[in-house]
Amino acid sequence: MDEEVEVLVDLLTDVLGDPKNHYESKAQISFDCPVCANEKGLDKGDGKGNLEINYSKHVYKCWVCGESEGTQGPLGRLFDKHGTKEQKKVYNLIKPEELKVQEAKKTQLKLPEGYTQFKDSNPRFIPHAEAYRYLISRGITDEIIEKYQIGYTVSGEFAYRVIVPSFDKNNRLNYFIARSWVPNKMKYKNPTAAKDEIIFNESRIDWFKDVYLVEGAFDGFFLDNSIAMLGKKMSSLLFETLYENALGKIIICLDEDAWEDAFKLYHELNGGRLYNKIRVIKPPKDMDVADLRGQIDEYYYEIK
């Protein structure tokens, strides 16, 4: 037996008792299910060996109560439910690196350390004043700051950045933008959540109204009912979400230098139930979305 497998089998034996069957070629090992045994009022195993573990995939399942009792899932959960904290720690040490990455992605995102909204901080605090000045220079008003819960932080890994939180349709934080206001810093630093797995501020979208598609979160502040794609391309999640939900028109409004991407987006969206509901804005050179406020209707481009 491989040394790592041996450690894992020993650990599992500590938690579940002696193994029943072990098929090394399939990386499968079975034990008595503690949940089944408990149901039968037994404090030891029921002798059935219904709980099966695949240790190459790091998953477990009881063939009897897996579905009904939730006795299944990633192996880490088995240690959470049936092991001790110490056993979980040992398991975390032998768990493969790629599984750790996947699990980290799934945990609920938190706002960065030190996130403070402007209304809750002292305007005479120098970082507050600097961050605020930066926002004003980008055309962002007090009303926008309040509406989008824009804040800033001076501590942790996102220190000296303006923070724009994003909430999903259930109003749960799903992303945030961290934009440096200090010129010599890397402009953006993103959370670990994958941006193509979220819809930025979906919580704010009224699907009965026209929806604007813009590139960045800062563009989105200037167009009501807009979705920031966080780039020039549409994720497949965004495509599916638009296709299923949009009841009004979809108006593509990318930066002037992204005309080809806008054109491509138009053709990707203009089909099926969205046919004839897509419009494109072509901003003039050197104008960004902030400059188009109030006059966007003048820049529709007719695609034939």
- Nearest CB to Zn ion, comparing residues 45 and 151: 45
Rounded to whole angstroms, the Cα distance separating 235 from 183 reads 30
**Rounded distance between C-alpha atoms, residue 44 and residue 34, angstroms:** 8
- Give me 188's structure tokens: 């953006």
Of the pair 68, 184, the CB lying nearest Zn ion is at: 68
**Nearer CB in complex with Zn ion: 67/257:** 67
The helix (run of H) or strand (run of E) holding residue 182 is none
CB of 66 to Zn ion, least distance (A): 7
Query: Rounded to 5 degrees, what are φ and ψ at 8?
Result: -65, -45
Catalog residues that contact Zn ion under the rule CB under 5 A. Answer: 33, 35-36, 62, 64-65, 71
What value does the CA radius of gyration of the chain take, rounded to a whole number of Å?
26
Which residue is associated with the tokens 């028109």? Answer: 249
Distances (CA, A) of 20 to 52, 67, 234: 10, 21, 50
Nearest residue (CB) to Zn ion, 16 versus 163: 16
Nearest distance, CB of residue 6 and Zn ion, angstroms:
25
116 CB neighbour count, 10 Å cutoff = 19
Q: Shortest Cβ distance from residue 35 to Zn ion (Å)? A: 4
Q: Which is nearer to Zn ion, 53 or 228 (CB)?
A: 53
Tokens representing residue 93 in the block:
């040490």
- Helix (H) or strand (E) holding 117, with range, is strand 116-117
Could you tell me the smallest distance in angstroms from the CB atom of residue 23 to Zn ion?
19
> Which C-beta is closer to Zn ion: that of 54 or that of 225?
54
- The token pair at 298 is 């003048």
Q: Which of 63, 299 has the CB closer to Zn ion?
A: 63
Rounded least distance, CB 12 to Zn ion, Å: 15
Smallest CA-to-CA distance from 74 within 98, 43, 48, 50 is with 98
Min CB(78)–Zn ion separation in Å: 11
Minimum distance between the CB of residue 254 and Zn ion, rounded to whole angstroms? 53
Could you tell me the two tokens for 165? 């939180």
